A and B are shown apart, each in its own frame.
Chain A
Amino acid sequence: MIKYILKRLMYILLALFVIVTATFFLLRLAPGNPFASERNFPPQIEEKLNETYGLNNPWYIQYKDYLIDAATFNFGESMKYKARSTNDMIAEGFPVSLTLGIEAMLLAIGFGVLIGVVAALYHNRWPDYLATTVAVLGISVPSFILAGLMQYFLAYKLQLFPISGWKGFSYSLLPALAIAFSHMGFIAKLTRSSMLEQNNSDYVKMARAKGIGKWTVVFRHTLRNALLPVITYLGPLTAGVVTGSFIVEQIFAVPGLGKHFVQSITNRDYTVVMGTTVFYAIILLFAVFIVDILYSVIDPRIKLKGAKK
């Protein structure tokens, strides 16, 4: 087990290194300068700014400095909003996004599994068709598009939800739902086919042959085995929720990290982009890592030695 963890950590570091390097070089190649759109600075001040941010140094010096900074989580100050450190911005936005993200994940998993189970147990009857339709809709409509439509129909027209902002629990419902919906659909589909597969397996027949009631078999035997594939989806789910947040937060004016990230891209605010990118990358990589460990704990057949399939 330990060997496996170490091996994975090494992969994660390697991946982080690749991301950080790629981000660095790409941004340095980017046309435009964070200060270009500002009011025209007198040359001395521009010189000073360039010096402060090390923009005059040869690229390899900048790279070295950058790596050191990244390793010590020193992402400097926002180039756009001076006197606001990147870390502060992250610390401010992340809790909001975290709340939204967790809500979205709970919705996606909770309803996804429920719909999938119902569909499988009423296979080829109307609950199955209804559930499959909902799932397919979820998968086909991108979260950001759904967000706009929901905002228009449910908040603006029908006034069932607040239109935007972040002033209480009810403000989180529409954005969380918008983010969750497509994943809910995928999880429902996954759960459904997994349940159907398990239902046809011999051990389920065996359980019935023991005289155990239909529903007890589902909850005691089928469900646990059917949910194993869903657990492997948790990694991509986390990634999807993160990327979903980028636009959905903007649409609903939620002051989360996603919104800041998007803005910093538009502003070519290098430091914030880099800092946030590294932060996100770490979260996503660890999410996948944790899911793998979780999976091995839950499925007694998996033994993680040095090499995993």
Chain B
Amino acid sequence: MTQQQIEKDKFKIVGGNHEATDKLADKSISFWKEVFIRFSHNKMAIFGLIALIIIVLMATFVPMFSQYHYSDQLGVYNAPPSSEYWFGTDDLGRDIFVRIWAGARISLLIGITAAVIDLIIGVLWGSISGLAGGRVDNIMMRIADVLTAVPYLLVVIVLLVVLKPGIIPMIIALSITGWINMARIVRGEVLSIKNQEYVLAARTLGAQTGHLILKHLVPNALGAILVTMTLTVPHAIFTESFLSYLGLGVPAPQASWGTMASDGNGAITNAPWRLIFPAVFISLTIFAFNAVGDGLRDALDPKLRK
């Protein structure tokens, strides 16, 4: 091996430069920024998010600016999709395109409101149970356990039979058991944070329970709460459609996607587009919320799954 000639002064001691190496380990971005970056790598989640944004925008603006009102009967019955009526018309001559977006408002409203109600009840139940601990916690969780064991769909159906079908009864029926899941998750987060020192410190400084819930527990549990909420909405949309098929949906002339699909199912041989369009949007929305929810969950999970 040829020994290359190296200048003698290259062998002068110059020492290390370890601060440069520390800099690498130092690059800290904020937690939520990191979550956002991870989320944006997930193609399905981004696709779902875009789809949701488009749907919400359309639902907001189309009924506002459309030339037809969703309950206008235009005299053209069961017409297939055309340049005049983009999604065709139904058996009462109503334009299905407008009805889809009017129905979107209703279905989304129902789904999101139910999720929000579940959120509120669940957070309250879960945090009180978790903070109180001991017997109170025990009893509250046993109640939740028994309620979970009850097949809720049966109770929901019976409930809707009692209250006349409508938007508000539907929302009530949907939120009736969804909160349990949220309560469990919140309680879990509360338990893991409760005994951490900054909470004890806040307590000794006289912080009240309500203050504690708002300022400390919720921000830390926010991730899990967000994911649960996002995954509750598609379940609500599914159940709303299901109940509509049972004749328990919102009454005419209002329409939700569920009632439109149910009506369309009956006329499928002569006007299949009446089922196809609501079916596509129901499925797309369920998919989108699931994709976003899953994406959020994966993005929040510190154990990177790659």
A, B bound: yes
Q: Which residues does A use to contact B, with CB under 8 Å?
A: 11-12, 14-15, 18-19, 22-23, 26-27, 29-31, 136-137, 139-142, 144-145, 148-149, 151-152, 156, 239, 243, 246-247, 251, 262, 265-266, 268, 273, 277, 280-281, 284-285, 288
CB distance from A149 to the nearest CB of B (A): 6
With A and B bound together, what is the CA distance between A145 and B162 in angstroms? Answer: 26
With A140-B290, A145-B241, A152-B275 given, is the CB distance from A280 to B151 under 8 Å?
yes
Residues in chain A near residue B44, CB distance under 8 A: 136
Cross-chain contact A136 with B287 (CB below 8 angstroms) = yes
List B159-180 residues whose CB lies under 8 Å from chain A: 159, 161-162, 164
Q: Which residues of B contact A (CB under 8 A)?
A: 44, 145-147, 149-151, 153-155, 157-159, 161-162, 164, 234, 238, 241-242, 245-247, 261, 264-265, 268-269, 272, 275-276, 279, 282-284, 286-287, 290-291
**B159/A140 in contact, CB under 8 A:** no
Partner of A247, one of B154, B245, B276: B245
Could you tell me the distance between the alpha carbons of A284 and B284 in the complex, rounded to whole angstroms? 30
Would A19 and B283 count as touching, CB distance under 8 A?
A: no
- With A14-B146, A15-B150 in contact, do A152 and B242 touch (Cβ < 8 Å)? no
The answer, among A148, A246, A281, A288, for a CB contact under 8 Å with B246, is A246
CB contacts (< 8 Å) of A26 on chain B: these are: 155, 158-159, 161-162
- Determine whether the beta carbon of B150 is less than 8 Å from that of A265: no
Q: How many A-B residue pairs have CB under 8 A?
A: 118
Q: Which of B145, B164, B269 is the one whose CB lies under 8 Å from A11?
A: B145
Interface SS of chain B: helix
- A288 near B149 with CB under 8 A, answer yes
Q: Which residue of the partner chain A has the closest CB to B289? A: A140
A285 in contact with B283 (CB, 8 Å)? no
Q: Contacts A280-B154, A288-B149 known; A141 to B272 CB distance under 8 Å?
A: no
Known: A27-B162, A145-B261. A19 touches B242 (CB 8 A): no
Are the CB atoms of A149 and B150 closer together than 8 Å? no
Q: Is the CB of B149 within 8 A of A12?
A: yes
Given A142-B283, A144-B265; 20 other pairs, CB 8 A cutoff: A15-B146, A19-B154, A22-B155, A23-B154, A23-B155, A27-B158, A29-B162, A30-B162, A139-B286, A141-B282, A141-B286, A142-B241, A145-B282, A148-B261, A148-B265, A239-B151, A247-B246, A265-B158, A277-B154, A281-B150
Expressed in whole angstroms, the Cα–Cα distance for A142 and B241 within the complex equals 9
User: Is there an interface contact between A262 and B246, defined as CB atoms closer than 8 Å?
Assistant: yes
Residue from A142, A149, A284, A285 whose CB has the most chain B CB atoms within 10 Å: A142
